[in-house]
Amino acid sequence: MTTTYDHVIVGGGMTADAAAKAIHESTPDATILIVSADVDAPYTRPALSKKLWTDPDYTPADNDLSTESESGAELRLDTRVSSIDRAAKTVTIEGGDTVGYGTLLIATGGQPSTLDLPDDDRVVYFRTADDYRRLRALSGGGRHVAVIGGSYIGTEIAAALVQNDTRVTLVFPDDVLGASVFPSVIADRFEKAFEEARVELARGRRVESGAADDAGVHLRLDDGSTLDADAVVVGLGIAVDDSLAADAGLTVDDGIVVDDRLRTSDPSVFAAGDVASYPDAILGRRRVEHVDNAKSQGPVVGRNMTGADEVYDHTPYYYSKVFDISYEAVGTLDASLEKVVDDKDDDKAVVYYLGEDGSVAGVLLWNVEEARDAARTTLAAGVVPRDELVGRI
Ligand SMILES: Cc1cc2nc3c(=O)[nH]c(=O)nc-3n(C[C@H](O)[C@H](O)[C@H](O)COP(=O)(O)OP(=O)(O)OC[C@H]3O[C@@H](n4cnc5c(N)ncnc54)[C@H](O)[C@@H]3O)c2cc1C
């Protein structure tokens, strides 16, 4: 027999959590089912590479989002949805169980990108709370961990580990850490923070393959050198998890295509968070893999699933924190774009990234707080004369 819920959510991340809470707030009697492949109930994902390592008073229990108690949703963990039948309005759960829905939210995020490395417990593709627990067990006590990837996950993990009694080697393809996103003056400062913390930097290198034995994990790099470590963490971004939607005949184009109400090409099916390609009010159609987007789209999509007709008009920001550096960004950060750097006192800076037509495509707020709205206003302004950018924020 098929059980039917008013709302079914596929995925148990922060988008799912925020959507379920919004549904419950709008319609307390609605029945909600969350089906999640994760073994843990929804939690704050960014803390896995920051606060859980740097704040001794913050525990994994503090990181739980209390989804079930605050939304009344039924949570099925460690459970995967394998297909969607839009005509019957049902989803099939791996193993064969079928569940009916009134509305469906697909919030399946993405899977970490992988490398040609052995399938071994000491190789961690870092994404989940389970990965955090595994890395905790593999690090500390002076052990040596190789971190692969110089973007925000790799740099945050490297900073977290080195502050927790772990020897760290960070392998990344740029000549200077952060050089693919920051202007050189900022990348130099970013890299210096890692050098001062004694993170060993394997610059300009990529990992080609690896092997594991009793002594540890052995990586082969593209310059022919080898790197031996007790464990390896890979932080190379994600591959979007939109196959369920594609297989169900929904429109997919680097993510599940939704309108400004976060509705797919099927009016009963919604998508949000990392998996959704949505029309951003300022920046145009895009997919955003950032927590502000998950936390902001979740409530809007939840209310729209209960019958509201709300436009998602928030342009999300991104943040990262390593050592005593905090940076935020709105829009596109790409060091190959033309840049205007407004370098201020006290290691603060604002960097404007210019698109081909001269309009501002992205704003980096380096150790600058409370300026996201000003950054959004600048992005919305389009072409701003260069001399008016310096001092604008
Ligand atoms: C370590 C780390 C640190 C981060 N730090 C920052 C940061 O500092 N700043 C920032 O802006 N962003 C950060 N992010 C990104 C941010 O956490 C994500 O953008 C956000 O959590 C995405 O939420 P989501 O719910 O859309 O997707 P996800 O969190 O990916 O959740 C997807 C869920 O779907 C489940 N799932 C997938 N397929 C199925 C299926 N077929 N059936 C059932 N369940 C399925 C998964 O198990 C998972 O529970 C970080 C990410 C990571 C990994």
In tens, the pLDDT along 357-387 reads: 999 999 999 999 999 999 999 999 988 888 8
Task: Specify the DSSP element, H or E, that contains 263.
Answer: none
Q: Is the pLDDT of residue 87 over 90?
A: yes
The Cα–Cα gap between 389 and 340 comes to: 8
Q: How many residues belong to the chain?
A: 393
Is residue 121 within 8 Å of residue 134, measured between CB atoms?
Answer: yes
Residue nearest to atom 2 of ligand 1 (CA): 46
Q: What is the pLDDT of residues 38-57, one digit of tens each?
A: 999 999 999 999 999 999 99
Residues 6 or more apart whose CB falls under 8 angstroms from that of 120 comprise 212, 217
Q: Is 297 in the pocket of ligand 1 (CB under 6 A)?
A: no
Mean pLDDT of 87-92: 98
Number of Cβ within 10 Å of residue 139's Cβ equals 25
**Is the shortest distance between the CB of 153 and ligand 1 below 6 Å?**
yes
> Is 127 a pocket residue for ligand 1 (Cβ < 6 Å)?
yes
Q: Does 160 fall in a domain?
A: yes
Mean pLDDT over each residue of the chain, to the nearest integer: 97
Res 346: pLDDT: 86
Residues 126 and 68 in one domain: no
Is the pLDDT assigned to residue 18 strictly greater than 80?
A: yes
Helix/strand/coil for 280: strand
* Boundary-marking domain end, from 179, 214, 234: 234
Tell whether the model's pLDDT for residue 343 goes beyond 80. Answer: yes
Q: What is the pLDDT of residue 222?
A: 96
Give the residue-averaged pLDDT of 70-86.
98
Q: What pLDDT, on the 0 to 100 scale, is given for residue 387? A: 87
Q: 27 and 79 share a domain?
A: yes
Instruction: Check whether residue 208 and residue 189 sit in a common domain.
Output: yes
Question: Does residue 193 form part of some domain?
Answer: yes
Distance CA 82, CA 4 (A): 17
Query: Beta 123-125 vs 32-35: how paired, if at all?
Result: unpaired
Q: Which residues on neighbouring strands pair with residue 76, listed in sequence order?
A: 35
| Ligand 1 mean position, distance from CA 238 (Å) | 9
pLDDT at 2: 84
Residue range of the domain that includes 93: 3-111+238-305
pLDDT digit string, tens, across residues 181-230: 999 999 999 999 999 999 999 999 999 999 999 999 999 999 999 999 99
Q: How far is CA 303 from the centre of its chain?
A: 23
Q: What is the pTM of this model?
A: 0.97
Q: Which helix (H) or strand (E) holds 336?
A: none
The helix (run of H) or strand (run of E) holding residue 353 is strand 349-354
Whether residue 339 is predicted with pLDDT greater than 80 in this model: the reply is yes
Q: Is the dihedral of CA 62, 66, 69, 70 positive or negative?
A: positive
- Tell me the DSSP string of 7-69: EEEE--SHHHHHHHHHHHHH-TT--EEEE-SSSS--B-GGGGGTHHHH-TT--TTTTB--HHH
Residues 21, 80 share a domain: yes
User: Is 294 near ligand 1, meaning CB less than 6 Å away?
Assistant: yes
Burial of residue 374 (CB within 10 Å: 0-12, 13-18, 19+) is middle
DSSP characters for 112-155? E---S----TTEEE--SHHHHHHHHHHS-TT-EEEEE--SHHHH
Residues 329, 365 contacting (CB under 8 angstroms): yes
Residue 353's CATH number: 3.30.390.30
Q: Do residues 201 and 279 share a domain?
A: no
Verify that 122 and 229 share a domain, yes or no. yes
pLDDT of the residue at 386: 87
Residue pLDDT, tens place only, 260-318: 999 999 999 999 999 999 999 999 999 999 999 999 999 999 999 999 999 999 999 99
Establish if 315 belongs to a structural domain: no
Domain count across the chain: 3
Band (pLDDT 50/70/90 cuts) for residue 321 is very high
SS3 content of the chain, % helix, strand, coil (to 5): 25, 35, 45
User: Which atom of ligand 1 is nearest the CA belonging to 49?
Assistant: 1
Residues 6+ apart with CB under 8 A from 24: 30, 32, 70, 71, 72, 73
Q: Which of 234, 256, 290 is the last residue of a domain?
A: 234
The answer to whether residue 333 sits within a structural domain is yes
Atom number in ligand 1 closest to CA 14? 25
Count CB atoms within 10 A of the CB of residue 137: 11
> Does the C-beta of 38 come closer than 6 Å to ligand 1?
yes
Hunting for tokens 């002076």 — which residue is that? Answer: 142
Placement of tokens 């989803």 in the chain: 91
Count the neighbouring beta carbons within 10 Å of the beta carbon of residue 300: 23
Nearest protein Cα to ligand 1, atom 42: 80
Predicted local distance difference test score (pLDDT) of residue 345: 87
Nearest to 154 by CA among 113, 211, 108: 113
Are 225 and 173 in a shared domain?
Answer: yes
For ligand 1, pick from 9, 34, 45, 77 the residue to mutate: most ligand atoms within 8 Å of CB: 45
8 A C-beta contact, residue 117 and residue 210: yes
Q: Report, as an integer, the average pLDDT of 54-62.
A: 96
Q: Read off the CATH number of the domain in which 172 is found.
A: 3.50.50.60
Ligand 1 centre distance from Cα of residue 288 (Å): 11
